[in-house]
Amino acid sequence: MRDVFVDTTHQLLTEDPRTALVLADISADSFQEAARRHPDRVINVGIREQLLVGVGGGLALTGLRPIVHTYAPFLVERAYEQIKLDLDHQDVTAVLVSVGASYDRPEAGRTHLSPADVALIDTLHGWTVHVPGHPDEVAPLLRAAVAADDPVYLRLSTMANRRPYGGNGDLRVVRDAGPGTPLLVAVGPLLDEALAAVEGLPVTVAYTHRPRPFDTAGLRALATTEVILVEPYLAGTSSRVVADALTDRPHQVLALGVGRKDLRRYGTAADHNRWHGLDAAGIRRAVDAFLS
């Protein structure tokens, strides 16, 4: 996904003089050619994440469309107040693009994990959050985000489904178990695990790469009583949205995602999927318990 991001951003910088890229050393090597071609619009501030977002806000104040990029915990967690004040409160916008996701580099430990990023962005107003599930989904999402004027968080990961699903972000049914069946909503790269988890179960599965704004109309059309969320970031991040959407109906929600506890374990991303119950077996156990 990062490669697609780099290539697409390079093209956007060439195509649209309104586009600017702000970096804090992360991925800077990949943008050397872009920086040479567009020295005034490819800005690497060094390892300074508060300045990274502040500069994005300043560029936006002059009318440019900044793409602000670094590793997820540094972009969203370290610079949260800059996102809140230097973008939102100034009434200007940027396209924030992270890599690293919840635990793409677990060997680096807690400092490089960012399961809370989407929840933090969700404390703000009006943001679109994209969590693509395949590298082929990235370019159209980035292009649309840069062409628009609203605030966007694009969360890239090394985890991916076997194939792209695309779409505009509305819930897309990928497995229809028939009327009245529980609805499972899988976000981004966890779709394959979710599909494998409910194999043989009467569960309808829908996919989205756009948890914000959540497709509440689609949810109301598809949901009956039981709703299962499978999200690749902090568990329960979208529970509030589902509760609000279904407030006039009796419903039950099972919210699966990354746990809050610092596991203090390294390993691989697959290990962390398993430890957080987000592999197929873990999702299956939770769904069986929920529906029994």
CB contact at 8 A, 203 and 177: yes
Which lies closer to other proteins via its Cβ, residue 32 or residue 225? 32
Q: Does 10 bind other proteins (CB under 8 A)?
A: no
CA atoms of 145 and 36, how far apart (whole Å): 24
Q: Does 213 bind other proteins (CB under 8 A)?
A: no
Residue 56 Cβ vs other proteins, minimum distance, rounded to whole Å: 6
CB contact at 8 A, 248 and 223: no
CA atoms of 277 and 212, how far apart (whole Å): 23
Residue 21 Cβ vs other proteins, minimum distance, rounded to whole Å: 11
Looking at 12, 23, 26, 43, which residue binds other proteins (CB under 8 A)? Answer: 43
Residues 6+ apart with CB under 8 A from 102: 113, 114, 115, 157, 232, 233, 258, 272
Enter the tokens of residue 100.
């690293």
CA atoms of 224 and 188, how far apart (whole Å): 22
Distance set, CA 91 to CA 3, 80, 83, 167, 170 (Å): 31, 16, 11, 29, 26
The interface region with other proteins, picked from 37-45, 97-105, 209-217, 260-268 by CB under 8 A, is 37-45
The interface region with other proteins, picked from 17-25, 28-36, 215-223, 250-258 by CB under 8 A, is 17-25
Strand runs labelled E in 131-248: 152-155, 172-175, 183-187, 204-208, 226-234
Q: Does 61 bind other proteins (CB under 8 A)?
A: yes
Number of residues that bind other proteins (CB under 8 A): 31
Residue 108 Cβ vs other proteins, minimum distance, rounded to whole Å: 23
Q: Does 21 bind other proteins (CB under 8 A)?
A: no
For the segment 76-135, give every residue that binds other proteins (CB under 8 A): 81-82, 85-86, 89-91
Residue 41 Cβ vs other proteins, minimum distance, rounded to whole Å: 5
CA atoms of 137 and 149, how far apart (whole Å): 20
Which lies closer to other proteins via its Cβ, residue 17 or residue 267? 17
Looking at 63, 178, 179, 200, which residue binds other proteins (CB under 8 A)? Answer: 63
Q: Does 59 bind other proteins (CB under 8 A)?
A: yes
Q: Does 15 bind other proteins (CB under 8 A)?
A: no
Looking at 48, 105, 112, 143, which residue binds other proteins (CB under 8 A)? Answer: 48
In a 13 Å sphere around the CA of 282, the CA atoms on its Cβ side amount to 18
CA atoms of 233 and 210, how far apart (whole Å): 13
The interface region with other proteins, picked from 43-51, 176-184, 186-194, 195-203 by CB under 8 A, is 43-51
Q: Does 146 bind other proteins (CB under 8 A)?
A: no
Q: Does 45 bind other proteins (CB under 8 A)?
A: yes
Q: Does 60 bind other proteins (CB under 8 A)?
A: yes
| Beta strands across the sheet bearing 95-99 | 42-44, 19-23, 65-71, 95-99, 152-155, 128-130
Alpha-carbon torsion (284, 287, 291, 292), positive or negative: positive
Q: Using CB under 8 A as the criterion, which residues of the chain lie in contact with other proteins when the complex forms?
A: 17, 20, 22, 40-41, 43, 45-46, 48, 50-51, 53-64, 66, 81-82, 85-86, 89-91
